[in-house]
């Protein structure tokens, strides 16, 4: 029988009618070599692209079941069968097919069991994820972190382009830096001539030279070690013989004295000697200034009299006839005070003077600096206490180094960099929050209403921050006086900016007081207009200071004879203090007692205690002369106060019989104000709405 017929009969014997159905349905071509008893799975070949017939299940002797489905490639099925258990001979009874849900089973006895010797495990793992295309999202959900950031960026862009931020002086400009090129060059130099020489020296020559040198030293001694030599040396050069001769000549006594007086050692010795002599006269006063003679808090006869005792007056021939225009205590050396002298009346023509006084020598200033223009303001730097800022009547601002005995100007503004030529009434130092953070700058207010900022580089560069304008219509604050004239034509378009005060907690806020009696609340972020304005006095405002214990309370004084205490956020004054029918030139809070403040008017010094009296001062001290008191300043310790007048004298007062400072300063101040507002319930209710510490 031919081989092909044997193969066909063997297949028909095993598969029966199923093979016919499979061929008809999927057009299979199956070839099996040799007989079924010796068939090897590896020789089985089924060539077809895809098996589309019914499922086929083959059962081996061990009961392992292999299935193929229509969606699988038939070549993968045969590969799986080839990796299965090796079978030497497969009887025809072991094959059966699932045909349309039917099974053909054979008796168990006719089956031959085989044991599998190899197990193939196929593991499917996920490959690393990679992206073929990534398109970023340009939108974000509202309320998320990204959405809030986008909203903040949009608001900032609108503020800088269409809002008020477009007035900010900022520009982004690209520039190209210059790259300097270097090259080496050769230069011709004169040849240095050298020669060797020899000489003979014996003991006698050296002895004679030593004796001559000792005699010269004896002639130069004039009594103390650090003095200047009394012998003047001259050098004579004989070019013909290439010899140099030193000739010593005896100096005249007048020349010696002139040299000694100009030496720094002599000046320091004189200053120390003057301090020692002054301590003999002002020993008790200096002890009181230091706080070494305070009253005993446990004594039985304690009385609060608010006494101001005169200790001494800083005055000399240099300052007589001048007006004290500014005083400032040194922040590091509390014994040192700087005083500026100017003019009181407009028609006066007086040169300016700055003196540095020391409490160790109240009779003579330790530093004197003369200027052509009258001084209007002085203030020490907080970072570098040896630098003193000075403002002048002609609008010039300088920085002075007081550590030098001579006039040493560190920086100075000029007419080109400073647009103002009016008097500078207030000068303060502050730290900016911009790109120059860390560098201390100067801020001034002038007669023409300009608020200027100065940065220190090679010179003082001026930048106009704002220019206050006159009030229009009725503003909040105190009641304004009614004018008789129907048309008022002011002399200048801008009011005079007399005082300048920065907010103690917010570095961007500052206050400006004008000669109209208004106080403008301004910000360094708004360069062309103020934030708020209120009428504080019926005349010019002369002083404004925040309480050192409560940053929401501040006082003002002016030409309407009043001292008023205000609270931020309330349009009306909380308290009004009036003593005499004279302008209040200055008023200050006590640095050690929250309810005590002082004011000067005329030739009187008033002390107020809002915890005890409001209608009259707690005490009044009349100065020794009939001069007008201009300025007032407490010492850092709060135990003394200085008063400057229009005659050039600065009086030092020691405070006695003062009330003991409360333990809770802010609470005591708020309690005193609430008690004073008992008869004004509406104002007390508005004060409580401010919040802490008035709750």
pLDDT tens, residue by residue, 256-311: 888 888 888 888 888 889 999 998 999 999 999 998 888 777 888 888 899 999 99
pLDDT of residue 29 exceeding 50? no
Residues 6+ apart with CB under 8 A from 17: none
Higher pLDDT, 291 or 600: 600
| Mean residue pLDDT across the chain | 79
Provide the pLDDT for residue 193: 83
Question: What pLDDT, on the 0 to 100 scale, is given for residue 49?
Answer: 42
| Report for 196-205, 301-310, 490-499: range of highest mean pLDDT | 301-310
232: pLDDT confidence band, cut at 50, 70 and 90?
low
Number of domains present in the structure of the chain: 2
Assess if residue 238 is contained within a domain.
no
Q: Which stretch of DSSP H or E encloses residue 378?
A: strand 375-380
Contact 527, 465 (CB under 8 A): yes
Residue 292 lies in a domain: yes
Quick one: pLDDT at residue 221? 55
What pLDDT was estimated at residue 89?
Answer: 42
**Residue 436 in this model has a pLDDT that exceeds 80:** no
Domain for residue 175, yes or no? no
CATH number of the CATH domain containing 300: 2.130.10.10
Q: Decide which of 387 and 96 is more confident.
A: 387
pLDDT at 191: 80
Q: Which is higher by pLDDT, 147 or 216?
A: 147
Instruction: Give the mean model confidence (pLDDT) for residues 12-29.
Output: 45
Could you tell me which residues are beta bridge partners of residue 427?
444
Query: Which candidate, 417, 332, 346, places its Cα nearest to that of 382?
Result: 332
312 within domain boundaries: yes
Burial of 396 (0-12, 13-18, 19+ CB in 10 A): buried
Q: How many whole angstroms separate alpha carbon 677 and alpha carbon 102? A: 106
- Structural domain containing residue 426: 288-479+492-689
Residue corresponding to tokens 């000046």? 267
pLDDT band at 460 (very low <50, low <70, confident <90, very high): confident
> Is the residue at 229 inside a domain?
no
Q: Does any domain span residue 162? A: no
**Residue 485 — very low, low, confident or very high, per pLDDT cuts 50/70/90?**
low
Please check the confidence at residue 658 and state whether its pLDDT lies above 80. Answer: yes
Q: Which residue has the higher pLDDT, 35 or 149?
A: 149
Last residue of a domain, one of 94, 110, 126: 110
Give the domain-ending residue among 51, 84, 110.
110
Residue 132: predicted pLDDT = 87
Residue-wise burial string across 485-519, b where 16 or more C-beta atoms lie within 10 A, e elsewhere: eeeeeeeeebbbbbbbbbbeeeeebbbbbbbbbbb
Mean pLDDT across 170-189: 77
For 220-233, what is the mean pLDDT?
48
H-helix or E-strand spanning residue 633: strand 629-634
Question: Does 75 have pLDDT greater than 70?
Answer: no
Select from 49, 77, 110 the last residue of a domain. Answer: 110
pLDDT at 564 over 70: yes
Asked if residue 648 has pLDDT above 60, the reply is yes
pLDDT-based confidence at 432, cuts 50/70/90? confident
Q: Give tens-digit pLDDT for 330-355.
A: 999 999 999 999 998 888 888 999 99
Structure tokens that stand for 266 in this block: 């002599």
Residues with Cβ < 8 Å from 298, sequence gap 6 or more? none
CB 687 within 8 A of CB 566: no
> What pLDDT, on the 0 to 100 scale, is given for residue 662?
92
Spatial separation of the C-alpha atoms in residues 44 and 198, rounded to whole Å: 122
Cα 22 off chain centre by = 91
Burial degree of 172 (CB within 10 A; 0-12, 13-18, 19+) = exposed
Q: Which of 9-23, 141-155, 296-310 has the highest mean pLDDT?
A: 141-155
**Lowest model confidence (mean pLDDT) among 305-309, 425-429, 691-695:** 691-695
609 vs 658: CA distance, rounded Å: 10
Give the tens place of pLDDT for each residue, 520-545: 999 988 888 889 999 999 999 999 99
Angstrom distance (rounded) from CA 105 to CA 95: 9
pLDDT at 473: 80
How many residues in total does the chain contain?
A: 695
244 or 278, which is more confident? 278
pLDDT at 481: 73
Q: Does the structure show a pLDDT above 70 at 651?
A: yes
Residue 664 has pLDDT above 80, yes or no: yes
Radius of gyration of the chain (CA): 51
Within a domain: 132: no
Q: Which one has a higher pLDDT value, 60 or 248? A: 248
Task: Give buried/exposed letters for 407-434 (b at 16+ CB in 10 A, else e).
Answer: eeebbebeeeebebebbbbbbbbeebee
Residue whose tokens read 């003047």: 232
Flag whether 241 is in a domain. Answer: no
């Amino acid at each position: 029988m031919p081989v092909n017929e044997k193969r066909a009969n063997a297949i028909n014997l095993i598969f029966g009618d199923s093979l016919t159905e499979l061929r008809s349905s999927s057009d299979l071509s199956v070839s099996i070599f040799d007989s079924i008893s010796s068939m090897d799975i590896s020789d089985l070949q089924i060539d077809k692209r895809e098996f589309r017939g019914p499922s086929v299940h083959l059962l081996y002797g061990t009961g392992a079941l292999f299935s193929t489905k229509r969606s699988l490639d038939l070549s993968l099925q045969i590969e799986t069968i080839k990796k299965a258990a090796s079978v030497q001979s497969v009887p025809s009874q072991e094959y059966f097919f699932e045909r349309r849900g039917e099974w053909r089973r054979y008796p168990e006895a006719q089956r031959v069991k085989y044991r599998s010797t190899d197990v193939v495990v196929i593991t499917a793992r996920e490959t690393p994820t990679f992206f073929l295309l990534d398109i970023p999202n340009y939108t974000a959900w509202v309320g998320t972190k990204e959405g809030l950031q986008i909203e903040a960026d949009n608001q900032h862009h609108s503020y800088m382009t269409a809002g008020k931020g477009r007035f900010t002086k900022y520009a982004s400009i690209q520039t190209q830096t210059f790259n300097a090129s270097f090259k080496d060059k050769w230069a011709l130099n004169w040849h240095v001539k050298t020669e060797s020489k020899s000489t003979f020296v014996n003991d006698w020559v050296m002895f004679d030279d030593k004796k001559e040198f000792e005699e010269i030293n004896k002639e130069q001694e004039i009594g103390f070690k650090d003095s200047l030599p009394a012998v003047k040396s001259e050098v004579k050069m004989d070019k013909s013989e290439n010899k140099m001769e030193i000739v010593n000549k005896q100096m005249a006594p007048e020349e010696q004295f002139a040299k000694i007086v100009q030496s720094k050692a002599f000046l320091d010795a004189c200053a120390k000697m003057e301090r020692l002599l002054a301590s003999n006269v002002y020993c008790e006063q200096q002890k009181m200034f230091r706080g070494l003679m305070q009253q005993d808090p446990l004594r039985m006869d304690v009385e609060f009299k608010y006494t101001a005792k005169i200790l001494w007056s800083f005055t000399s021939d240099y300052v007589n006839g001048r007006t004290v225009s500014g005083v400032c205590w040194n922040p590091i050396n509390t014994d040192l005070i700087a005083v500026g002298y100017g003019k009181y009346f407009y028609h006066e023509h007086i040169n300016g003077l700055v003196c540095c006084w020391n409490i160790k020598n109240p009779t003579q200033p330790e530093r004197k600096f003369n200027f052509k223009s009258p001084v209007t303001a002085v203030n020490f730097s907080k970072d570098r206490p040896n630098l003193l800022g000075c403002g002048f009547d002609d609008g010039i601002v300088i920085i002075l180094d007081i550590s030098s005995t001579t006039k040493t100007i560190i920086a100075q503004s000029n007419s080109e960099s400073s647009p103002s030529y009016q008097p500078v009434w207030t000068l303060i130092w502050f730290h900016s929050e911009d790109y120059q953070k860390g560098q201390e700058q100067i801020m001034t207010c002038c007669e023409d209403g300009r608020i200027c900022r100065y940065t220190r580089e090679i010179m003082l560069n001026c930048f106009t921050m704002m220019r206050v304008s006159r009030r229009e219509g009725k503003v909040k604050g105190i009641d304004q006086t009614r004018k008789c004239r129907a048309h008022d034509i002011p002399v200048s378009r801008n009011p005079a900016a007399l005082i300048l005060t920065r907010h103690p907690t917010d570095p961007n806020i500052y206050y400006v007081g004008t000669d109209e009696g208004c106080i403008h609340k301004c910000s360094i972020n708004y360069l062309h207009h103020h934030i708020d304005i209120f009428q504080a006095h019926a005349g010019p405002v002369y002083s404004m200071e925040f309480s050192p214990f409560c940053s929401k309370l501040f006082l003002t004084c002016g030409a309407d004879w009043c001292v008023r205490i205000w609270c931020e956020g309330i349009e009306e004054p909380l308290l009004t203090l009036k003593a005499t029918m004279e302008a209040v030139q200055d008023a200050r809070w006590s640095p050690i007692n929250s309810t005590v403040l002082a004011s000067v008017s005329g030739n009187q010094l008033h002390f107020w205690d809002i915890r005890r009296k409001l209608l009259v001062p707690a005490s009044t001290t009349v100065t020794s002369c009939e001069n007008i008191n201009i300025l007032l300043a407490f010492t850092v310790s709060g135990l003394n106060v200085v008063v400057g007048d229009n005659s050039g004298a600065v009086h030092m007062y020691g405070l006695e019989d003062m009330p003991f400072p409360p333990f809770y300063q802010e609470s005591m101040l708020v309690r005193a104000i609430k008690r004073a507002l008992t008869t004004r319930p509406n104002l007390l209710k508005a004060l409580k709405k401010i919040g802490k510490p008035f709750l």
